[in-house]
C-alpha cells in the first residue's frame, strides 16, 4: 500500500505522542493519535495510563472531525474494557479515513479495522509499522507469546568483566551511563535480579535518576529462600524453587526438575500479571541461566574503558561452544557513547 510523505509525517507525530506514555501506560500499549484535515493537524492525543481515555478519544475531544483522517499508532480497539471501544468514537466522529501504523494482535481487541470499513470509513495500515512495533515490544510479546520482552542490562569492562571476584560491582560505569540505565528501568514494568546480587550489592532496584510517576515491580529469583529480612529490595515478588514464606515478600514457588526456579514458567507468571517489559540486572550465573533457557530478547550493554582481569566475574555463565560458528550471535540495534562509556543494544540473531 502506498502512503504519502504527509501520511508518514503525521504518523511520526503520532509516534512522538505515543512515546509520552513510555513510563505510564503499562499494562496497556503506548498509543498516539493525530487527526488531520487538508494537511493540518486539528486534534491530537496519547494514552496516558490504564483506565484513562485512549489516544483516539483524546485526539477527538472538542474537534469537528467530519471528513478528516485519523493517524493512530495501533489499530483502534473494538472491545469493552475499562473504556468503551475506540471504534465507536471514530465512527461517531464521521471520519473519512483511519490509518494505523500496525494491526492490534491482541485477541480481545481485534476487528477494529473491519468494523470501521463496514461503517464507511476507509481503513489502512502499515505506515511506519517498525517504529510502532519498537515502541510496544513488550505489549506485543505479552499478548502473542505470553511472556514479557526480556531486556538484560549488563555493565562491563572491555575485557567483559562485571564484578570483582567477591561479587562487588558498584560502580563499573560512569554517572551518565548509570543515569541512562535508570531511564531503561523506568520504562520497564518489572526489574529482576537474583539472590546473589542481593547479597553482594544489596540493591534497591528503584528508579532514582529520572522522574517517573511509578516504580517498576521488584522481582527476585531466590531458589532456596535466602533473602535477608532487611534487604533493600524488599518489598518484592520472589520466585523460589520451593514453597515457603519471607518477611515483606510475596513468594511464588515454581520449581524445575533441579529444585531451582523454572525460568520460562516465571516469565509466563509475570505476563499473567500484566508485565510487558522485564528489565534484568543480575549476576553472571542468573544471566547465564536466562540465556541458556532462551529467555532473553535483548541485551543492553554498557562498556567501560577499563580492565578487571581474569579473577573478576564475567557477563554470562555459559558453556564454551563447540566451534566459533556455535557461539551466541547478536545483531547490533544501536551503539552510542555516554561520557567515557559505550552503550550497545543488541539482539540474538
48 catalytic, yes or no?
Answer: no
CA distance 236 to 253: 14
CA distance 83 to 231: 40
- Cβ atoms within 10 Å of 209's Cβ, excluding its own: 16
Task: Quote the cell numbers at residue 219.
Answer: 522481582
Task: Quote the cell numbers at residue 318.
Answer: 555459559
DSSP 8-state symbol, 116:
H
- Rounded to 5 degrees, what angle do the CA atoms 11, 12, 18 make? 85
Q: What are phi and psi of 326, to 5 degrees?
A: -90, 0
CA distance 142 to 188: 13
Q: Which of 44, 56, 75, 277 is catalytic?
A: 56
Q: Pairing relation of β-strands 122-125 and 69-72? A: unpaired
DSSP 8-state symbol, 270:
H
CA distance 301 to 315: 10
Q: Per DSSP, what are the bridge partners of residue 301?
A: 154, 344
Q: Name 178's Cβ contacts closer than 8 Å, sequence gap at least 6.
A: 171, 209
Nearest to 49 by CA among 21, 18, 70: 21
Q: Name 257's Cβ contacts closer than 8 Å, sequence gap at least 6.
A: none
> Are the beta carbons of 270 and 190 closer than 8 angstroms?
yes
Q: Which residue has the cell 489499530?
A: 75
Nearest to 303 by CA among 153, 167, 150, 183: 153
Peptide bond into 173 cis (omega under 30): no
DSSP 8-state symbol, 217:
E
Residues annotated as catalytic (active site), given as ranges: 56
Amino acid at each position: 500500500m502506498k502512503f504519502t510523505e504527509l501520511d508518514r509525517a503525521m504518523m511520526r507525530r503520532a509516534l512522538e505522542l505515543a512515546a509520552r506514555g513510555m513510563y505510564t501506560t503499562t499494562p496497556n500499549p503506548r498509543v498516539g493519535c493525530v487527526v488531520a484535515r487538508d494537511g493540518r493537524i486539528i486534534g491530537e492525543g496519547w494514552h496516558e495510563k490504564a483506565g484513562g481515555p485512549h489516544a483516539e478519544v483524546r485526539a477527538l475531544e472538542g474537534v469537528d472531525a467530519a471528513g478528516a483522517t485519523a493517524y493512530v499508532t495501533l489499530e483502534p480497539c473494538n472491545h469493552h474494557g475499562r473504556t468503551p471501544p475506540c471504534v465507536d468514537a471514530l465512527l461517531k466522529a464521521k471520519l473519512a479515513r483511519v490509518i494505523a501504523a500496525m494491526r492490534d494482535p491482541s485477541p480481545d481487541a481485534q476487528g477494529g479495522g473491519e468494523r470501521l470499513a463496514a461503517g464507511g470509513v476507509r481503513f489502512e495500515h502499515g505506515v511506519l509499522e517498525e517504529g510502532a512495533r519498537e515502541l510496544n515490544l513488550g505489549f506485543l510479546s505479552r499478548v502473542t507469546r505470553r511472556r514479557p520482552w526480556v531486556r538484560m542490562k549488563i555493565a562491563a569492562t572491555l575485557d567483559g568483566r562485571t564484578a570483582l571476584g567477591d561479587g562487588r560491582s558498584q560502580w563499573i560505569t560512569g554517572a551518565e551511563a548509570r543515569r541512562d540505565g535508570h531511564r531503561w528501568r523506568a520504562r520497564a514494568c518489572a526489574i529482576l535480579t537474583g539472590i546473589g546480587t542481593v547479597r553482594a550489592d544489596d540493591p534497591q532496584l528503584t528508579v532514582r535518576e529520572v522522574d517517573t510517576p511509578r516504580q517498576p515491580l521488584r522481582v527476585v529469583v531466590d531458589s532456596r529462600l535466602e533473602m535477608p529480612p532487611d534487604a533493600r529490595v524488599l518489598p518484592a515478588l520472589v520466585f523460589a524453587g520451593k514453597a515457603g514464606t519471607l518477611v515483606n515478600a510475596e513468594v511464588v514457588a515454581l520449581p524445575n526438575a533441579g529444585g531451582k526456579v523454572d525460568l520460562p514458567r516465571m516469565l509466563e507468571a509475570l505476563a499473567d500479571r500484566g508485565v510487558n517489559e522485564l528489565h534484568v540486572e543480575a549476576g553472571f550465573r542468573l544471566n547465564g541461566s536466562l540465556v541458556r533457557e532462551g529467555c532473553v530478547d535483548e541485551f543492553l550493554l554498557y562498556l567501560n574503558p577499563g580492565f578487571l582481569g581474569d579473577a573478576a566475574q564475567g557477563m554470562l555463565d555459559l558453556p564454551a561452544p563447540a566451534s566459533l560458528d556455535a557461539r551466541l550471535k547478536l545483531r547490533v540495534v544501536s551503539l552510542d557513547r555516554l561520557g567515557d562509556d559505550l552503550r550497545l543494544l543488541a539482539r540474538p540473531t
